[in-house]
Amino acid sequence: MGDKRFMKGNEAIAEAAVRGGCRFFAGYPITPQNEIPEYLSWRLPEVGGAFVQGESEVASINMVYGAAAMGTRALTSSSGPGISLKAEGISYLAAAALPAVIVNISRGGPGLGSIQPAQSDYLQATKALGHGGFHAMVLAPNSAQEAADLVYDAWEYAERDRNPVLVLMDGCLGNIMEEVELPPMKELHDEDLPEWSLTRRNGRDWQGNITPIYTELILEGLNAMAGEMYKAWEEDDVKVEEFMLDDAEYVVVAYGIASRVSKEAILKLREEGVKIGMIRPITLFPFPKKSIRNLDFTKVKGIFDIEMTVPAQMREDIELQVMDRCPIYEYGRSGGCLLDDDGVYDAIAEIVKGEDA
């Protein structure tokens, strides 16, 4: 029997993390992600895990580094300003080849921005999560359910790759309550601890050392291996929803909350006879390049980049695949102002219906 609950996106992330094997959390409060630490503060002790409210974001990400080095499934969460503070630590996780999951429940920016939701951290998440040219896999759910599903399996990717995984979801989805069917608790045993973890003892080999410091040639080699890993992600790990593309003359590209609002507009436009569909990246990195590149541009007359940020940040990734084969339009709201059904519908209708709209 399924375990169905009415819960916030943030709570769904927290519970799914525990069920996915997370036993350590460190973080520092910031809206709109506070329900994650609030939930884990009582939930992790129930399953023998540890919750720490760190003295800062910097301290918290470094505690995650320590826990990950021991082979513990570790999590931290924050919102844009806090993720900036964690950037150094995330880069060190990538350098030390440590798996961990970082959640960004994003809000308006730049700077302190606003506490209200926005999708203004796409570029940070996909291009420069920290210094030194590394990437994390970036998962972008568009519902509380999908957030739970993706977080549940996030450590599988992180441990497979020995690399951090970022979950990017806006504060709107973090705070929306909706129905979530929770996955079962993963049973993890000591013998499942990764080979390299510092906890491998009790009669097994002690694997001495985890370090983010290397000599030049070794570092270059590791950089090249990371490059190969990113290429492999593009082959194996792209997640994308393709909606009503078969006969589409217009295609919306949208992720997260923007994809929900866009789909509502698409359904209405379809009823009115407009041939329109959507490509929804679920992994923002690796980006679903092929879905866009392989569109039939003899039919497609226009692409809409819909995001809850201004200006659109995904646009360059889309442009690289469209290669000037059709115009790209963008629509968004930002600063904590939310997208809404009518706004997105009107923006699309104005173009596809021309002057008559």
Contacting positions for other proteins (CB under 8 A): 6, 31, 115-116, 172, 175-179, 257, 260-261, 263-264, 267, 338-343
Q: Which of 216, 221, 198, 218 is nearest to 208 (CA)?
A: 198
Least distance to other proteins from the beta carbon of 245, Å? 17
Closer residue to other proteins (CB): 159 or 307 = 307
Closer residue to other proteins (CB): 136 or 176 = 176
Least distance to other proteins from the beta carbon of 105, Å? 14
d(CA 197, CA 208): 9
Distances in whole angstroms, Cα of residue 200 to Cα of each of 22, 92, 229: 18, 22, 26
The alpha-helical segments, DSSP class H, found in 96-215 are 122-127, 144-161, 171-175
Q: What angle in degrees, to the nearest 10, is found between the helix axes of 144-161 and 9-19? A: 40
Helix (H, G, I), strand (E, B) or coil at 6: strand
Closer residue to other proteins (CB): 112 or 185 = 112
Least distance to other proteins from the beta carbon of 134, Å? 34
Closer residue to other proteins (CB): 52 or 265 = 265
d(CA 169, CA 8): 12
Least distance to other proteins from the beta carbon of 242, Å? 16
Closer residue to other proteins (CB): 177 or 188 = 177
Least distance to other proteins from the beta carbon of 109, Å? 16
Closer residue to other proteins (CB): 6 or 224 = 6
Distances in whole angstroms, Cα of residue 353 to Cα of each of 80, 82, 270, 304, 341: 37, 43, 12, 14, 17
Least distance to other proteins from the beta carbon of 120, Å? 17
The HSE-up count of residue 328 (CA atoms within 13 Å, CB side) is 19
How many CB atoms lie under 10 A from the CB of residue 171? 29
